Amino acid sequence: MTQLPSLAPLTAEAFAPYGSVIAHEGSARRHPVRLEHGDAARPGTVASWVSRIGAPLAPGATVTAFERHPHSDQAFVPLSGQRYLVLVCDGGPDDRPDPATARAFLAGPGQGVVYRRNTWHAGMQVFDAPAEFFVQMKRVAEGADDEFVDIAAPLSIPFPEEAPA
């Protein structure tokens, strides 16, 4: 088992290689959010749903797989204000997730994420539950939108030091 480094705060700058942070910045009434739905010429439908996560991560929890979406960005917008794990990694020379490059972020209340198309990421997991997320991405074909890959050794998830939000 590999221990991930401590959780880094989720900031736009730190997360930029993997996507964007959804949060209001500045004093303007609106803050634009960019979501790419892949190749406009490829048929597909923008799909939106609400996911509910009933149980929080427990100390000692691990990640054993990563996922990516080859045809679209994927957005997660928290609806219930809990802290959650954002875990990403680069692809290796074999185009599979490279756990050695994993980065763990602590997303706080008021922060969503847009995973860039083809970004390896762990499934949504929360430190405080129950939690609900609005999710959006483009669906092009049954079975073609999601790629899940098991990793050789589990990654141990770091936990936030502070008390639950």
> pTM, whole model, 2 decimals?
0.88
**What digits encode the pLDDT tens for the residues 137-147?**
888 877 678 89
The alpha carbon dihedral of 121, 123, 129, 130 has a sign of positive
* Cβ atoms of 15 and 86 closer than 8 Å: yes
Q: Which two tokens stand for residue 21?
A: 């942070």
- Give the CATH number, domain containing residue 154: 2.60.120.480
Decide if 143 is inside a domain. Answer: yes
The model's pLDDT over 120-131, given as tens digits with 9 standing for 90+, comes to 999 999 999 999
Q: Is 62 domain-assigned?
A: no
Domain containing residue 152: 1-24+72-160
Q: Is residue 113 in some structural domain?
A: yes
104 touches 128 (CB < 8 A): no
- Report the DSSP pairing between strands 131-139 and 45-53: antiparallel
Number of folded domains in the chain? 1
